Amino acid sequence: MIEKEKFLSRINLFQSLSEDELAQLEPATPMEVVKKGTMISSPHLEQKRLFLIKAGKVRLYKLSADGKELTIDLLGTGHVFGEVGSFTISSTNMYAEAWEDSLICSIDKGKFEELMLEKPRLALHFIEIVSNRLREVEEMMELMAYGSVRQRLVYLLGRLCEKYGGERQADAPEWIELAVNLTHQELATMMGCIRETVTETLHELTAEGIVKKTGLRKPLWVHRERLREALAPHSFTNVFFTRLDKRK
């Protein structure tokens, strides 16, 4: 139980709970090892549950009218997704699959509603998480509708920095390593375009010193200030970088 309580404390939603409260919550959140590629939830499954990522990564995606997959988000340790009653942490017609071998726990609708009534702090935190997720989706949808491929890509790189920004170079702290490996095709599915266009745009960003790669199959490095400048024309940039600045 102690080990599972430690895992629960890493979930963003539960970070405000005490050790005793986590111990009480533990029986209601069954934990499961989910293999890479496994479907966790889909519009066809009647699952009124909230899923919590204790380790690993989960891809959220939708299907277009012609059956193509459009990745909406890539969630990592500490993130939550799913639907409980009238509350949803993703959106309708959403699929969730394990991007890599992951450790997932979940809580059902009835227990979650009890928690919201018993712990107002948790309810407020949940509302904040939902609001942030909706804002991210709206920002990306704005770019999908009106933005160029370049604008979509630099925005996506910023979001990845916020969620998966890892080590920084000692002699150049503005460079942030993305602690997640994504192929050009995977980036394309997150942007609603084709792989060749992503490859061409990445070459342009590399030439401008916004991104770089230290070797084949190595993670991307992103220059934070140059990325900020590339996104400057957008109204949501200040809000976005306020979140990113917290990673300093």
Convert the pLDDT of each residue in 110-146 to its tens digit. Answer: 888 887 788 787 777 777 777 777 777 777 667 666 7
Q: What is the pTM of this model?
A: 0.72
Residue 158: closest CA among 105, 228, 101, 208: 228
> 230: Cβ–Cβ under 8 A, 6 or more apart, which residues?
150, 154, 205, 208, 210
Q: What is the pLDDT of residue 46?
A: 65
Mean pLDDT along residues 36-61 = 85
CATH top-level class for 2-121? Answer: mainly beta
Q: What is the pLDDT of residue 23?
A: 65
Please state, in angstroms and rounded to a whole number, the distance separating the CA atoms of residues 3 and 5: 5
> 220 has which bridge partners?
213
For the chain, give the percent of residues with pLDDT over 70.
73
Q: What is the pLDDT of residues 191-229, one digit of tens each?
A: 878 899 999 999 999 999 999 987 777 888 999 889 888
Q: What is the pLDDT of residues 158-191, one digit of tens each?
A: 888 888 887 776 777 789 888 888 889 888 888 8
> 2 pLDDT band (50/70/90 cuts)?
very low
Query: Is residue 102's pLDDT more than 60?
Result: yes
Of the ranges 39-43, 76-80, 140-144, 241-245, which one carries the lowest mean pLDDT score? Answer: 241-245
Instruction: Give the CATH architecture of domain 144-245.
Output: Orthogonal Bundle (1.10)
Q: Where are the domains of the chain?
A: 2-121, 144-245
- In this structure, how many other beta carbons lie within 10 angstroms of the beta carbon of residue 226? 17
Q: What is the pLDDT of residue 139?
A: 72
Q: Which tokens belong to 85?
A: 């009653």
Rg (CA), the chain: 19
Q: What is the pLDDT of residue 196?
A: 95
Phi-psi region of 194 (alpha: psi -120 to 50; beta: other; left: phi over 0): beta
First and final CA of the chain: distance in angstroms?
34
